[in-house]
Amino acid sequence: MSLFQKLLRRKSVQDLQNGGADDAEGPKLHKVLTARDVFNHGVAAIIGTGIFVLTGVAAHDHAGPGIILSFLLAGFACAFVSFAYAELASMIPVSGSAYTYTYATLGEIFAWLIGWDLLLEYAVGASAVAVGWSAYLQNVMKALGLHLPQFLSHAPESVPWQAVLIAAGTITVGVIGLFRSRAALTGRAGARTYLTGLASAALAGFGLVKAWEVATHLTSVDLPAILIVLFINFWLVKGVTHTAKMTAVFVAIKLAVILFFIGVGIWHIDTTNYHPFLPFGWHGVFTGAAIVFFAYIGFDAVTTLAEECKDPQKDVPKGVIGSLIVCTILYILVAAIMTGAMSYLLLGGSEIAAPMARVLDHLGYWWASPFVSIGAIAGITSVLIVLLFGQSRIMMRMAKDGLISPIFGKIHEKYRTPVWSIGIWGVLVALTAGLLPISELAELTNIGTLAAFVLVCVGVMILRVKEPDRPRKFKCPDFPLVKPAGNLAVNCLTKVFGLKPETEARLRSFVASFAWMLIPILGAGMSMVFMFSLPAITWIRFAIWMVLGLVIYMFYGRVHSKLNKTQEK
């Protein structure tokens, strides 16, 4: 087999549906989740700080009351992508999300790149969210008269990143090496294993010394950001049932706050505030849509729950689409009340970080502002849960496929969770959140997610063409009116030009395909438009990360891929 063929080798959908040989051994993930749990995770991922902050800022700076239409357009754009995710999840009910879907459609190299991309997306996204959580918590503490010491409240101005990377890398490699050579501890190993164990211990020891040197030179650290990541990872290790219960609690809190705002604000709408409805014109509406689109990002991580659902082929599509519909409705209602209860000119701006609280103050409900703060903290926490959960499951799936160290695919006997994936990445995310201001790197989360959206939409079309008869419990719906309009056009052509039956049949087949294919085409197209709207520096950083991933794949993943063994047999 040539190198090109190896790069494009695919995992069959049948193998993914049945579970490969690597999944037949050892403990499995618990299948305990329902469509309600998937729905809760979807709401947890989508509704974060966006509804508490972004709505007012986008209305003030870009769209005015037209922000209502911006949310509607962004919701439609995400719906196109969510249909593609739902169809693939109903066919391939495993935890790898876009990584696994790409493996089954475009081939191993594209799967590796999107998996590598998603690891960065979730790591940077979780770090950024943790920093935001810390800032919000400290604001609440200040309002209560409580203050953290300065050196524990924020990331340092400068960090010796070379030393940090050396310490993190040597500790990680050392710990993995010790785990793999643990037979040396029982006295049942050969000389080579003993040497590997000694070298691994030396590496880990060197890393710890280096880490101590870094710690002694730090001027400050964002302690709340570190603690919240470690706390959530502790719960993730305990099992998916614990995670689902914790997520449900935070979702209930933030939904209660949002519904309270809607219930109070709807009686104070003054329609004069809606004039002019489009102060920035339609350009402002589309600009606003591009901005608030990123408030929806996160629903893709919900598909990593598939392997732990009782009936993933039904539960995941229901949960993904249902959460997106509910969140879109809530976003639109909140936007309508915000811009209707007071002028959009008084929302947003650099001096107003909490427009929802500003509206309540304006309406005389000043006492309700603390409830908004509680809802915002709950919203941020739930987003963090979903990101850290998704990252561990994707890494587990990549390890089971042989593309990264198998240690990340180990499932704990008691908790039935990938403890190594959760633990190692949890520590790395915690350190990043505590040491690095994430403001610039946060845009990498957006470009990574959008790249995954494009490949998933393309993957749906490829599988429809290559395997049209494979059962699907959910299919991308036809775009409204396309099929009736297309068939009407074919009827007219047949009557006017007297088309042959076979020509007419081909045209009707094309119309039927185009009717459903338009959904993923629009999903991929709009995602690419949003990608190209990001700054050039984001593309440069993204390219550097992808090149690093290619190097790792060529020297490790390509060689250790489980498909090598399958093809040899």
Residue 206 covered by a domain? no
Residue 496 covered by a domain? no
In angstroms, the CA 463 to CA 502 distance is: 25
Give me the sign of the Cα torsion angle 548, 551, 552, 554: positive
Domain count, the chain: 1
- The residue that leads in pLDDT, 421 or 348, is 421
Q: How confident is the model at residue 332 (pLDDT cuts 50, 70, 90)?
A: very high
**86: CATH:** 1.20.1740.10
Mind listing the pLDDT tens digit for each residue in 306-321?
A: 888 988 888 999 999 9
Residue 207 covered by a domain? no
Q: Evaluate whether 62 touches 287 at the Cβ level (below 8 Å).
A: yes
Which residue from 298, 340, 266, 255 is spatially nearest to 67, judged by alpha carbons? 340
Burial class (CB in 10 A: 0-12, 13-18, 19+), 467: middle
Q: Which amino acid is at 427?
A: V
pLDDT of residue 21: 47
Q: Evaluate whether 437 touches 155 at the Cβ level (below 8 Å).
A: yes
pLDDT of residue 136: 78
Mind listing the pLDDT tens digit for each residue in 178-222?
A: 776 665 555 555 566 677 778 888 888 888 888 888 777 777 888
How many of the other CB atoms lie within 10 Å of CB of 50?
A: 24
Mind listing the pLDDT tens digit for each residue in 505-532?
A: 888 888 888 888 899 999 999 888 888 8
| pLDDT exceeds cutoff 90 at 333 | yes
Q: Residue range 337-354: average pLDDT?
A: 76
Residue 323 covered by a domain? yes
Q: Any residues with CB less than 8 A from the CB of 391 and at least 6 apart, and which? A: 118, 119, 122, 123, 126, 421, 425, 429
* Least confidently predicted of 11-20, 228-237, 238-247, 545-554: 11-20
This prediction has a pTM of 0.84
Residue 204 covered by a domain? no
| pLDDT exceeds cutoff 90 at 365 | no
| pLDDT exceeds cutoff 70 at 352 | no
Burial class (CB in 10 A: 0-12, 13-18, 19+), 428: middle
Mind listing the pLDDT tens digit for each residue in 525-542?
A: 988 888 887 778 778 888
- The residue that leads in pLDDT, 437 or 564, is 564
pLDDT of residue 350: 47
In the DSSP assignment, the letter for residue 33 is: B
Q: Any residues with CB less than 8 A from the CB of 225 and at least 6 apart, and which? A: 127, 130, 131, 133, 134, 430, 433, 434
- The torsion of the CA quartet 446, 452, 457, 463, rounded to 10 degrees, works out to -170
Q: Helices 223-238 and 419-435, interaxial angle, to 10°?
A: 170
pLDDT of residue 203: 87
- The phi-psi region of residue 364 (left if phi > 0; otherwise alpha if psi is between -120 and 50; otherwise beta) is left
Residue 485 covered by a domain? no
Mind listing the pLDDT tens digit for each residue in 28-54?
A: 788 889 999 999 999 998 887 677 767
| pLDDT exceeds cutoff 70 at 161 | no
Mind listing the pLDDT tens digit for each residue in 65-88?
A: 999 999 998 888 888 999 999 988
Mind listing the pLDDT tens digit for each residue in 429-483?
A: 898 888 876 555 555 667 888 888 999 999 999 888 888 888 888 888 888 888 8
| pLDDT exceeds cutoff 70 at 148 | yes
**What's the domain range around 357?**
3-159+218-476+535-568
pLDDT of residue 340: 93
Burial class (CB in 10 A: 0-12, 13-18, 19+), 144: exposed
